[in-house]
Amino acid sequence: MARPEEHTTRSRDRVGTPWAGEGAGPRAPRPAAYPGRVRARLTGRSAVEHGLRALCLAAALAPLLMLLVVTATLLVSALPAIRFSGLDFFTGRVFSFGNLYGGTPTVHHGVAAPHNASYGAAPLIVGTLLTSVIALVVAVPIAVGGALVLVERIPRRLQGGLSIFLELLAGIPSVVFGLWALLVLGPLLAQHVYPTLARLGVLVPFLRGPVGNGQGLLTASLMLAVMIVPIVAATTRDLLRTVPVLHKEAALALGMTRFEAVRVVTLPFVRNGIAAAAILGWARALGETMAVLMVSGNALNIFPYNLYAPTTTIAATIAAMLDSALTDATGMGVSALAEAGLALLTITLLTNWIGRQIARRTAGVPLPVGRGF
């Protein structure tokens, strides 16, 4: 398929405006010299077109506006909490709204919060990073391997059919993932897999200890892995189709096995694109809310003591705790959650931006928007 950039506005302007064809004939007066209606006929830009152009420009600016509104709203709302906690937000281990039913409010840095309130988000940040990184480590090999088989070994006719499963995984709502992990995956793992893993704890301390009921760090991570596989796999699939056939054939003609051809030719060609897709998948895992909320075990103020321990994430905490934050008369609870949201927004914006920069600089395939549809 031809690259879409081929027909640009520039080429249209050259054809559409008679005076732009420089050279032959006497120079036509500049269109600005004519009265409005004549100018409209000469340039082909009527009032209707100007209107449409303006409307479309407004629409094109809407995403930027939405981004600005979201960021500004969170920032303004978070300011009191930022002043109250300072750097304790990142290092503090206790995230508590304090005594919401009485007691004298504590005043700190000129901001009042309920008695005993403390907004330390370290466990949330650690939980967010741990779940998403484990998910990424599990998902990337599966996605890349699956995409390799799909593109390199399976006939083209079947590829489309198998790709439906990627779309399906990308489209399943997060509450349905959560329901599945809560009712099916978690109990299954806790009964049959985790006890075996725990026996390996003799060697690896993080695997030791009680395996719990299947709601916790590892279950949440594995579920997240399933959720981010489609982003990475769909991008890798599209990238693999851009690898020049001649290079692959040359490798095979030299007597390489297909595995060696993949290792020497294909993978170096798509490496950067896969990295970009992985970063995008990571961003999705960082921000996932409902599914994690349902299977993380909703730990409060503890760091996970082993791989099966309950944990929580920033996103899940915001969803879970806003209800009680609303009862905080000082408004500090809502503000602290806004600060957590701001931290999450910053991390995901950065990861998205880095991923897209890598893709723009090095890979020939545009990254999918959002979920990888």
Which one among 180, 198, 267, 354 touches another protein, defined by CB under 8 A? Answer: 180
Helix (H, G, I), strand (E, B) or coil at 164: helix
The answer to whether 273 and 243 are in contact (CB under 8 A) is no
Residue 364 interacts with another protein (CB under 8 A): yes or no? no
| Residues between 306 and 325 with contacts to another protein, criterion CB under 8 A | 315, 318-319, 322
Q: Spell 134-143 as b/e; 16+ CB within 10 A means b.
A: bbbebbbeeb
Chain positions 193 to 222 lying near another protein, rule: CB under 8 A, are: none
The only residue of 5, 30, 32, 155 in contact with another protein, by rule CB under 8 A = 5
Could you say whether residue 239 binds another protein (CB under 8 A)?
no
The verdict on 1 binding another protein (CB under 8 A) reads: yes
Cα-Cα-Cα-Cα dihedral sign, residues 195, 299, 130, 293: positive
Q: Does 45 bind another protein (CB under 8 A)?
A: yes
3-state secondary structure of 339: helix
143 lies in the site for another protein, by CB under 8 A: yes
Binding region for another protein (CB under 8 A) out of 85-93, 200-208, 254-262, 301-309: 254-262
Q: Select the span of 90-98, 166-174, 195-203, 299-307 touching another protein (CB under 8 A).
A: 166-174
Nearer to another protein, 204 or 322 (CB): 322
Q: Following DSSP, what letter does each residue of 260-296 receive, concatenated?
A: HHIIIIIHHHHHHHHHHHHHHHHHHHHH--HHHHHHS
Which residue in the set 94, 112, 129, 174 belongs to the binding site for another protein (CB under 8 A)? Answer: 174
Member of 90, 206, 303, 373 binding another protein (CB under 8 A): 373
Helix (H, G, I), strand (E, B) or coil at 35: coil
- Subset of residues 258 to 297 that bind another protein, contact rule: CB under 8 A: 258-260, 262, 280, 283-284, 286-290, 293-294
CA 83 to chain centre: 29
Told to check if 337 binds another protein by CB under 8 A, we report yes
Residue 98 neighbours by CB under 8 Å, 6+ apart = 106, 113, 114, 115, 116, 117, 118
**Residue 187: count of CB within 10 angstroms of its CB:** 15
Kindly state the smallest distance separating residue 176's Cβ from another protein, in Å: 5
| 244 CB-contact burial (10 Å; exposed 0-12 / middle 13-18 / buried 19+) | exposed
| Segment contacting another protein by CB under 8 A, of 86-94, 112-120, 170-178, 200-208 | 170-178
Question: Closest approach of Cβ 69 to another protein, in Å?
Answer: 7
Are 177 and 291 in contact, with CB atoms under 8 Å apart? yes
The interface region with another protein, picked from 97-105, 116-124, 182-190, 208-216 by CB under 8 A, is 182-190
